[in-house]
Amino acid sequence: DGGITQSPKYLFRKEGQNVTLSCEQNLNHDAMYWYRQDPGQGLRLIYYSQIVNDFQKGDIAEGYSVSREKKESFPLTVTSAQKNPTAFYLCASSPSQNPVYFGNGTRLTVT
């Protein structure tokens, strides 16, 4: 079955550590995205990539980094520079035009 796989579902880290969230898709979609969702709030775009080896900052890119070495993969690193990293992170992908399809998310808790 085609889809978007995010792993792990839950992730716990100590403050000051970098952490990488995995996102893989087998939908052959060109574009991939990372969103952040805080409790009771909507989605905010962190980074997006329209093509391999290229990506752009979204609305809240500070403290995050990404890479797009393969079409199928778009990992997100939450660095120690991110002041409030605890959140629900959603990866998504889309063909050359919308709509966007989502993975099931990774809940990151930093203490």
Partner 1 sequence: GNSVTQMEGPVTLSEEAFLTINCTYTATGYPSLFWYVQYPGEGLQLLLKATKADDKGSNKGFEATYRKETTSFHLEKGSVQVSDSAVYFCALADYTGGFKTIFGAGTRLFVKA
Q: From 12-20, 36-44, 60-68, 72-80, give the range in contact with partner 1 by CB under 8 A.
A: 36-44
Q: What share of the chain is helix, strand, coil (3-state, %, to 5)?
A: 0, 50, 50
Footprint on residues 48-87 left by partner 1 (CB under 8 A): 48, 50, 56, 58
> Interface with partner 1 by CB under 8 A: which range of 11-19, 64-72, 77-85, 98-106?
98-106
Nearer to partner 1, 85 or 103 (CB): 103
Helices within the chain (DSSP H only): none
CB of 19 to partner 1, least distance (A): 19
Sheet with 64-66, side-by-side order of all strands: 4-7, 19-25, 76-78, 64-66
